[in-house]
């Protein structure tokens, strides 16, 4: 199953494939349970944007308009970045979620040496192009040239 959206969070296209084998049926049930996750996420982002216009999200789309990667940051995260964004670390999980996609986090430390999250990105893959998109989305969100120091595990 895939869902395509446009930049206004409107669902444009939905496609579902049905399988017959036991393995495919189990996978289909799992997909069915998660089938509206994209719609739920878009509804959540719309609500966040309605409650606070500074909420930021960006989508990397493929040639067919399918979502490949998602970046988001709440207004409070952007405020933390304005105060403590001189040094930022970026790290990803290794595909530990049900979508088998890496989750990246932009993190810093506040004046009490406590971790503070500046933004999240769910990556479609781990190519240079996707990481460049993620870092550019982060810079666009924060409205600056970027942090003085960016530490990555790459």
Each domain of the chain, given as residue ranges in start order, spans: 2-152
- Name 60's bridge partners: 69
Tens digit of each residue's pLDDT, the chain (154 residues): 455 566 666 665 555 444 445 666 666 666 666 667 888 888 999 999 999 999 999 999 988 888 889 999 999 999 999 999 999 999 988 766 677 889 999 999 999 999 999 999 999 988 999 999 999 999 999 998 778 888 887 6
Helix axis angle for 75-84 and 128-142, nearest 10°, is: 90
DSSP state of 94: -
SS3 of the chain: helix, strand, coil, percent, to 5: 35, 30, 35
Gyration radius of the chain over CA positions: 17
Contact (CB, 8 A) for 45 and 55: yes
Structure tokens that stand for 154 in this block: 């790459």
How much is the pLDDT for 82?
Answer: 93
């Amino acid at each position: 199953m895939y869902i395509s959206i446009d930049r206004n969070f409107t669902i444009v296209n939905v496609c579902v494939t049905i399988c017959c084998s036991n393995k495919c049926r189990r996978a289909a049930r799992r997909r069915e349970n998660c089938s509206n996750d994209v719609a739920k996420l878009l509804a959540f982002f719309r609500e966040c944007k309605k409650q606070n216009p500074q909420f930021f999200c960006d989508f990397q789309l493929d040639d067919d308009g399918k979502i490949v990667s998602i970046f988001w940051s709440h207004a409070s995260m952007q405020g933390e970045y304005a105060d403590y964004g001189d040094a930022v670390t970026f790290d990803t999980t290794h595909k530990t979620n049900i979508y088998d996609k890496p989750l990246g986090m932009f993190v810093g430390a506040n004046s009490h040496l406590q971790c503070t999250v500046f933004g999240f990105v769910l990556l479609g893959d781990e190519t240079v192009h996707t990481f460049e998109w993620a870092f550019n989305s982060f810079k666009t969100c924060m409205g600056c040239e970027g942090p003085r120091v960016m530490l990555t595990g790459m």
